[in-house]
Amino acid sequence: MELEEEERRDIVQMLNEARTLLQAGKINELKDCSNKVIHSMTIYQDKYATNAAVIVYAISKTLERWKLKQEERELSAFVREMKEELEKLSSLLERGEFEEFLIECGKVRGKIAQVDSHFSDYMEEVLHKARLKKASKVYEHGLSIGKAAELLGLSEWELMQYAGKTKVHDVDESKIKDLRKRLKELEEIFK
Amino acid sequence: MRTIVLDSSSIISLSTTCLLWILKKLKEIAHVRFVIPRKVKEEVVDISLTNPNYQLDGIRILNYIGEGIIEVVDDARIQGFASRFLDLANNLFVARGRSLKLIHYGEAEVVALSKIVGTKNLCVDEKTMRILLEDPIALKRLMERKLHTPIEIRNERLEELKKNYGDFLIFRSAELLMISYRRGVFTDFLAGCGVDGWIRKRFLRGALTSLKLNGCSISRDEILEYVELISKNHSESELSS
């Protein structure tokens, strides 16, 4: 599958920024950084931006959950490994090795899942949480619930419950009709 | 008998808020028919049964299908109609030279089914389909604002959308709740709370908020507006004037 140049640029930029933030220990900014490819995810709807966003968010979430619990040495090892992985992913994209990029994403997800399963008290794994978060963002940007769920490999059930608790529905464009008119029209059906 | 096509999102929010039973009551009171296409049944039953978090919901919905409260309609024509609508919706807007794929096939089946059974009544809780059918220009504006990129509309497709799909009556589970309230569906439920207005207001606000938190695309402002509308005791005749 080919990658549009603009999308490739967005993803590489995001991965490089993520590396810098990881190095600086800026977890909150790292989390936000993963949103920089939401536009690409919404428009292009392929696996590249989706994988990159999920991985970066999952890394930030893992660190967030771990930070107070783990020895500095273990945390540093994870950070070092993830920095190397982000650099590898960025290089693969720059060289146009798209299939290899996806394979490497799979490996990174595996590493995150392994670490998360050993050290997390939470039932919800970070990768799943990352997919929910990104799907909700894509829904917010205009794709349907079904489309967003399909893009991130989720069910509508879990995405509805997650998105409902955000501000996604508190937008002006969502209120099309006057509520009295809505009810009046419905009254006709239920007469 | 009037027919209402339900999509997955409306069934999901009603089920997860334990309000699915209002469909049974509405069917009894108003002799309406609630129908779904096969793809919606797959999402709300088959998929839910694979996840322990939603298995109870799936069984509840399956029960309603078994009792005939929700009917699954299988028709060979659905696929053709759905594919046409899917193609229309997913090639309506263009951003960065690409067609924006807005909806997925299951959602298109809901519109297809409505054409086949000859109804314009759709219950849709998720926001994109609703805005697309009610006001596609509003959806374009929303997406331009969010994506920080100009979006082009293919005018011939817009004309086709308006001509063939522009007269649907779309409502949400929130509206079903409001109608149920006005028709006395909750009379027994609230009997124990007395007829105090404070309790009733809290009930409505709570139920609407619950639907919102479970995915119904209603805003906080709309919830407050609905609560005020009812608390002013507008009569049916006033609403229909």
Give the tens place of pLDDT for each residue, B5-29: 999 999 999 999 999 999 999 999 9
Give the tens place of pLDDT for each residue, A131-151: 999 999 999 999 999 999 999
Pair (B132, B194) in one structural domain: no
Q: How confident is the model at residue A39 (pLDDT cuts 50, 70, 90)?
A: very high
Pair (B154, B213) in one structural domain: no
The pLDDT value recorded for residue A124 is 63
Residues of chain B contacting A180 with CB distance shorter than 8 Å: 229, 239
Pair (B65, B113) in one structural domain: yes
Residue B98 has pLDDT above 90, yes or no: yes
The pLDDT value recorded for residue B104 is 95
Pair (B141, B202) in one structural domain: no
Pair (B155, B201) in one structural domain: no
Cα dist from B113 to A48, A130, B31, B39, whole Å: 35, 34, 19, 11
With an 8 Å Cβ cutoff, are B103 and A147 in contact?
Answer: yes
What span, in angstroms and rounded, lies between the C-alpha atoms of B74 and B78?
Answer: 8
Give the tens place of pLDDT for each residue, A52-98: 999 999 999 988 887 766 667 777 888 999 999 999 999 999 999 99
Least confident among A177-191, B19-33, B81-95, B147-161: A177-191
Residue B233 has pLDDT above 80, yes or no: no
- Where is the domain boundary, B162, B186, B210? B186
Pair (B63, B160) in one structural domain: yes
Tally of domains in chain B: 2
Tell me, what's the ipTM? 0.92
The pLDDT value recorded for residue B9 is 98
The overall average pLDDT reported for chain B is 93
Pair (B154, B235) in one structural domain: no
Pair (B156, B218) in one structural domain: no
Pair (B41, B87) in one structural domain: yes
Q: Which amino acid is at A164?
A: G
The pLDDT value recorded for residue B237 is 38
Pair (B152, B100) in one structural domain: yes
Best of A44, A158, A189 to disrupt the B interface (most B CBs within 10 Å) is A189
What span, in angstroms and rounded, lies between the C-alpha atoms of A79 and A71?
Answer: 13
- Which stretch of DSSP H or E encloses residue B37? strand B32-37
Residue numbers of the domain that contains B210 = 187-240
Q: What's the CATH number where B169 sits?
A: 3.40.50.1010
- Where is the domain boundary, B157, B186, B215? B186
Q: A51: closest CA among A65, A37, A72, A69?
A: A37
Residue B231 has pLDDT above 90, yes or no: no
Give the tens place of pLDDT for each residue, B175-205: 999 999 999 999 888 887 766 677 777 899 9
**Min Cα separation B4/chain A (Å):** 9
Pair (B83, B48) in one structural domain: yes
The overall average pLDDT reported for chain A is 90
Nearest CA in chain A to B31: A190
Least confident among A101-110, B12-21, B224-233: B224-233
Pair (B58, B117) in one structural domain: yes
